[in-house]
Structure 1
Amino acid sequence: MRHKDLTARSALELRRLIGRREISPVELMKACIDRIEALNPGVNAIAATDFDRSLAQAREAEAQVMRGEPLPLLHGLPVGVKDLQHTAGLLTTCGNVGLRGHVPTEDTALVARLRHAGAIITAKTNVPDMGAGGNTRNPVWGATGNPFDNQLNAGGSSGGSAAALATDMLPLCTGSDTGGSLRIPASLCGVVGLRPSPGLIANDHRALGWSALSVLGPMARSVQDTAFFMAASVGSHPYDPISRDVSGDAYWPLPEVDLSSLRIGVVEDFGFCAVEPDIRKTFRDRVKRLTAQVHSCETIDLSLTDDAHRAFDILRSEAFLAAYGETYQTAPETLGPNVVANLEMSASFTLADIAWAHREQTRIARHFAHALSRCDLIVAPVTPMSPFPWTQLYAERVDGQTMRNYYEWLSLTYVVTLATNPAIALPCGVDARGMPFGLQVIGPLRGDAALLAAAQAMEQAFQADAATRRPRPGIEALLKANPALTRMVTDPPLYATGISRRR
């Protein structure tokens, strides 16, 4: 049975149609492949692809349906995997020249779990070099353009995943988040990205196994699909010492939440983050609209200071040193400028600095916990500005303030990283420039299921208002390839040639 606009349907609906034998996993896979081949030249969201193997797996998934076998949660659904996460038999380059031909022999724990849940790993999604930065561009695959204007950036580091979702290339994609790498591209591309509480989704490749700074998380086009994906992703792994043995049943199906019962704490800049005036104006408008729907929306003071900048500098540098310090000593020419900046910064920090940073992180976490004992959720902007051109490596100035480094413009999200609270980027209309605007909705630590349920209620209310519903990109413009995304040359060269997308 043929279905019109198959790729635009939700992941949950697609899974139900597969289970009812109303569509075939093969039909769905072919539709996604056609969509990727038509639109990817316009945004460059997809890196390596696995179409032949995906079609073979889709045929087997179809046979399992026809045999009446029990079907796992994600049975037959095409999934994109961020190119920082290992996929057996499929290129995993991390956007880095030193890993240009790297084909892992094993999946990461998350990818293995998704395959076990019936997902078909169809493609890798583009990232900045080694995932460092809020602008997805690298010397292997090139840059990812924003689906709403492919001259602008899609955010990072999960920019490929966000752009692929926004253009309906794939129904579900993975992401990861250290300083905002899930939330920022989700916000800039008009999709949903959840940074979960640390340990809920096992990460067996994190260099510092006990660190809560970096997490893996789900990305989708709706809160419902994000929760559905989350249910298939959670669980412990022996190689991740902070992973938790939790059941996906807690995340799917989501309970209904009475929006009028929610107490919302409002934070515009956390007291120290630079935010452009037009983003402040848009945020205030969204809060005003939300106020009419909930029990209360009140400004709160988290008593934070710009010490959070220094704490994140130190803890981020510590993580980069653990992950890339050896490469910096043996093959520094293979590392991009953002990675090198973190490593060079680490040389200036002492053990006393690291101890101070961990104390400051603890203080921040306790301030968030105290605030969330008096309200149900905290809302804040995700990004401080509208997307800038992807040719610009990072935002050098925000609201007239010079940024100290390539990631300070991401401070609205990395302060929440320091707190370790779960946070979701929720599409909420467009900003003054007509680009997607996202609300950052923050919940109590390990309150991920309740956060998702509340976010779903907010999303439903937003969909009823033309000013706040999820925006959709104009596809016609993306049907025309943007060769600059893969051919731009800088000094040193940003892009390489001779890389096959199919492996």
Structure 2
Amino acid sequence: MSATRLIEGFAKAEFTPGELLEACRERISRLNPSINALTSFCTERAIAEASRSTQRWREGAPMGPLDGLPIGVKDLQDAEGLPTTQGNPLFRSNMAKRDAPMVARLRRAGAIVLAKTNVPEFGAGGNTRNPVWGATGNPYDPRLTAGGSSGGSAAALAASLVPLCTGSDTGGSLRLPAAFCGVLGYRPSADVVAHPTRPVGWSVISVLGPMARNMDDLLLMLQTIHGFEAGDPLSSPADPARFDNLSPVSLDQLHICFSEDFGGAPVDRRVRSAFRERVAAIAPHVASCRPVYLDLGEMDRCFDILRAESFVAAFDLTGDGAVEQFGPHVAANVELGRRLSFHDRAWAHLEQTRILRAFNKRMADFDILLLPTAPIPAFPWEQSYPEEIDGQKMDIYYRWLALTYRGSLMGGPAITLPAGTLNDGLPFGLQLLGPLRDDRALLRAARAIEALLARDPAMAPVKPDLTKIVPPPVDLRGIATHPLESSSAGTARPDPVGTAV
């Protein structure tokens, strides 16, 4: 059931939070070993909290809009009493003493933190695997990647292990795994969800956001987590009801532009074909739908520098740290940062401003921009990243994420919606971008397009056939990539996994 339907069931006394928690735990015990979406658990506390929630609902006094809903929290974010390992062995025993602000907001709304969700090491990369917890498989085919860095959250939602999960996004970490797993990932404007742990507090490229299975659930979660925190200079005070009552926009008033490749990024022909089909299905129902060429500037080099800056700030502030303690992806970013100069940094910030202004000009006559989310279908999780797309070699491990990270540069809202499947049965994600700080308009458009796609059997979301998920030949929790292995495709080696909390 959806999160909104579960809350309705509590209110009508059809079932209790305690019963829901037990159902989730049974499902997790049956399916999680095959996909490894959830890592550490807080079972005893969750049972006690579900019991108290059950009593509150019986008394007609829920503590908030999420009272009794079990959730998963991404393993980059602190949840009191659970380890925040970030997928790195040095942090295997890093027990959180308090909740991150977003997690605290969810708890105050009544949500029950049941488990942490898996990530790539330090969230670096679009494939969720690390030397602490191992790899996460895709519920549509556990042999394939669930994407990253919010891959555990996306897989847990697709397999209905929990109804809501947290995520974060720098270059596509919410949107890409949502697309690969047939769920929703929303990257808000940088002022919407406070992010006090962002390494570079004034940089808009890293944000926090919700993940869910439909727009109603996503908005239910967003209404709880948005808001100001003094520790985040980009967050801003806003009306608490900012995202309440967001009705779908009327499609015949919607002006859409679209691009298959965001200004020339490599895109697999199967994805291009599927995207064209979605645009053709949407176009007759909207006021206008026209292609746009997004030659906005040197987007890739700009992102490279801004990303390297944040990694240096987080991992190599003195410039002489040992990169051997990190995996190849983090090390690659740190090494890139060490080669950059103050002039490179100044250029990147100037270029980011120019890119935003160019984007604003392109969007002057449009409400939203449509794009594919992922440039290729999901690939085997043993492969660190796709080394080539449509004949073009990838020069760094995240270059294949250009369809998402180029949009991050503008700092505005973006969302991916499940839009049917590719010919091989894997989910296809449709990405929507809106102007900076126009989150309400983007979300209203997303609601309308979600409803339109649902009416077309060829474009409607398709749930994974969970009856076909069987334990893989190896335990994904025991598959861990060595921190020093090559960043290209290779074999994985086992690594002991600690007892779940």
Asked if TM exceeds 0.5, the reply is yes
Q: Which residue of 1 aligns with 2:385?
A: 394
Matches for 1:4-403 after TM superposition, within 5 Å? 9-305=1-297, 307-326=298-317, 329-330=320-321, 332-403=323-394
Query: How much does 1:256 deviate?
Result: 3.0
> Which moved further from structure 2: 115-124 or 254-263?
254-263
Q: 1:31 to 1:327 in 2, by over 3 A?
A: farther
| 3-state SS of 1:92 partner | coil
Shift of 1:484: 4.5
Deviations 1:91-122 (A, max 9, x none): 11111111011101011111111111111111
CA distance in 1, matches of 2:296, 2:388: 22
Which of 439, 443, 446 in structure 1 is aligned with 2:430?
439
Cα drift, residue 328 of structure 1: 8.0
Shift of 1:26: 0.5
* CA-based RMSD: 1.5
Cα 1:161–1:498 change in 2 (3 A) is closer
Partners of 2:68 and 2:118 lie apart in 1 by 23
Secondary structure at the counterpart of residue 318 of structure 1: helix
CA distance, structure 1, for counterparts of residue 497 and residue 153 of structure 2: 23
**Secondary structure of the residue that 1:441 maps to in structure 2?**
strand
The DSSP-based 3-state class of the residue aligned with 2:248 is: coil
Deviations 1:320-345 (A, max 9, x none): 01111159855533311100000000
* CA deviation map 1:239-296 (0-9, x unaligned): 1111111234221332132112211101111222111111111111110011122121
Contact 1:234–1:247, Cα closer than 8 Å, also in 2: no
CA distance in 2, matches of 1:285, 1:391: 31
Q: Which residue of 1 aligns with 2:496?
A: 497
* Contact 2:262–2:403 (8 Å) recurs in 1: yes
CA contact (8 A) 1:272 1:304 kept: no
* Cα distance in 2 for residues equivalent to 1:327 and 1:152: 38
Contact 2:477 2:497 in 1 (8 A): no
Equivalent position SS for 2:316? helix
CA contact (8 A) 2:134 2:480 kept: no
State the 1:479 CA deviation: 3.8
* Whole-angstrom CA distance in 2 between matches of 1:126 and 1:113: 21
Shift in Å at residue 79 of structure 1? 0.8
Cα separation, partners in 2 of 1:272 and 1:47, compared to 1, 3 Å: same
Any conservation in 2 of the 1:421–1:444 contact (CA below 8 Å)? Answer: yes
Do 1:19 and 1:71's aligned partners in 2 also have CA atoms closer than 8 Å? Answer: no
Secondary structure in structure 1 of the residue aligned to 2:210: strand
Aligned CA distance change for structure 1 residues 482 and 246 (closer, same or farther; 3 Å): farther
Contact 1:279-1:384 at 8 Å conserved across structures = yes
Asked whether 1:419 is paired with 2:418, we answer no
Q: 1:430 aligns with which of 413, 416, 421?
A: 421
Deviation at 1:360, TM superposition (A): 1.1
What CA deviation, in whole Å up to 9, does each residue of 1:330-372 have, x standing for no partner? 5533311100000000011111111111111111111222222
Mapped contact 1:270–1:304 kept (Cα < 8 A): no
Q: Quickly say closer, same or farther: Cα 1:424–1:202, change in 2 above 3 A.
A: same
Partner of 2:489: none
Q: Given that residues 127 and 146 in structure 2 are in contact (C-alpha distance below 8 angstroms), is that contact kept between their aligned partners in structure 1?
A: yes
Amino acid corresponding to residue 179 of structure 1 in structure 2: G
Alpha-carbon distance in structure 2 between the residues aligned to 1:329 and 1:347 = 9
In structure 2, the gaps of 5 or more residues are 486-491
Contact 1:42 1:482 in 2 (8 A): no
Partner-residue secondary structure (3-state), 1:208: coil
Task: Assess, with a 3 A threshold, how the Cα gap between structure 1 residues 30 and 91 changes in structure 2: closer, same or farther.
Answer: same
Amino acid corresponding to residue 430 of structure 2 in structure 1: L
Aligned-partner Cα distance in 1 for 2:494–2:53: 37
- Structure 2: how far apart are the matches of 1:327 and 1:454? 45
Partner residue in 2 for 1:3: none
2:488 corresponding residue in structure 1: none
The one-letter code sitting in structure 1 at the alignment partner of 2:299 is A
Residue type at the aligned position of 2:88: N
* Cα separation, 2, equivalents of 1:105 and 1:144: 26
Partner of 2:447: 456
1:288–1:451: structure 2 CA closer, same or farther, 3 Å change rule? same
Shift of 1:443: 1.2
Whole-Å Cα distance in 2 between the matches of residues 439 and 455 of structure 1?
A: 10
Equivalence for 1:4: none
Q: CA deviation at 1:138?
A: 0.2
TM-score, normalized by length of structure 2? 0.95
Task: Figure out how many residues of one structure are paired with residues of the other and give that number.
Answer: 493
Q: TM-score, normalised by structure 1?
A: 0.95
CA distance in 2, matches of 1:484, 1:66: 41
Q: Distance in 2 between matches of 1:240 and 1:300?
A: 34
Classify the secondary structure of the residue corresponding to 2:93. Answer: coil
Per-residue CA deviations over 1:68-109 (Å, capped at 9, x if unaligned) read: 325311111111100000111111111111101110101111
Q: Quick one: which amino acid aligns to residue 496 of structure 2?
A: T
CA distance in 2: counterparts of 1:70 and 1:498, whole angstroms? 37
Give the Cα–Cα distance (whole angstroms) in 2 for the partners of residues 495 and 368 of structure 1: 46
Distance 2:284 2:466 in 1: 34
**Which secondary structure state, in structure 2, belongs to the residue aligned with residue 373 of structure 1?**
helix
